[in-house]
Chain A
Amino acid sequence: MSLKAVHILFISLSILLAFGFAAWEIKGYTVSGDVLQLLLGLFSLVAGVGLIVYGVKFLRKLKHVSLI
């Protein structure tokens, strides 16, 4: 398994973490009303979308590199 394959796995898990954390923080904000939680949740949402865009660009850039 090459670094490319491991990086794809890592970015996929990071995307899951970003959206999961965003949901956790926004849910927390609805209970506590803490603005910092809302900001962290929104930041995490944007980061998740950013990671998806990055992941697609990364795959296109290194499409000639083997996954092994």
Chain B
Amino acid sequence: MEIPYTATARPDTGLFNAKLGVWMFLASEVMLFGALFSTYVLLRVGAPSWPHGYEILNIPLATLNTVILISSSVTMVMSWASLMMKEFKKYKMYMGLTILLALGFLIVKGFEYGAKFSHGLYPSESTFLAIYFTLTGLHGLHVIGGIIVNTYFWGPGSKMWHTDPQRFTNRVEVAGLYWHFVDLVWIFLFPVMYLL
């Protein structure tokens, strides 16, 4: 039996299965990060004193990571656009770049974490550091998840392009939606944690 609406949209929702699925997943992700951001706000307003992020954290490294993630969202959408224009080689290039940029983000984050640990700044040191490591650590796990999914679509998963190109294009779009969510979280994390 063939599963319906994997390549074409359902007439009633206007969405194919995977897109509906990813939006439901992203809704749960919004609740997860929303709860943590709310926790941050409540902890901050309830604290007698709260350090400014820029006094403790490394702004230039975080700026570099912001540039990396914005660039990766551009390459991600370009990989999807390449598939829509039937340019598979370009897709491979842009998806490969997205994966490399994501790895670059993690390397920079690793340097940032390493510098904090070498100065004895652990999550147990203060409430600020606890929420900083929780939020950025969870975000980092999402980046790792994105790398795994994107690497699959760049490598073995890309075989589908030769048998069912529309379904593969849909899969890449869905992966792109997830990747944009991960990037969007950072766009909020950066000013909230580092600048305020």
Contact = CB atoms under 8 A, between A and B. Distances in A.
Nearest to B80: A3
A10 B77 CA distance: 11
8 contacts: A3-B173, A6-B176, A7-B176, A17-B190, A17-B191, A20-B191, A21-B63, A36-B60
Interface in A1-38: 1-4, 6-7, 10-11, 13-14, 17, 20-21, 24, 36
Contacts of B176: 3, 6-7
A54 B71 CA distance: 11
Interface string A36-66: 1000100110010001001000100110010
Chain B at the A interface: SS class: helix
B183 A65 contact: no
Interface of B: 14, 23, 59-60, 63, 66-67, 70, 73-74, 77, 80-81, 84, 173, 176-177, 180, 183-184, 187, 190-191, 195
Given A7-B73, A68-B14, A17 B177 contact: no
A7 B191 contact: no
Interface residues of A, number: 26
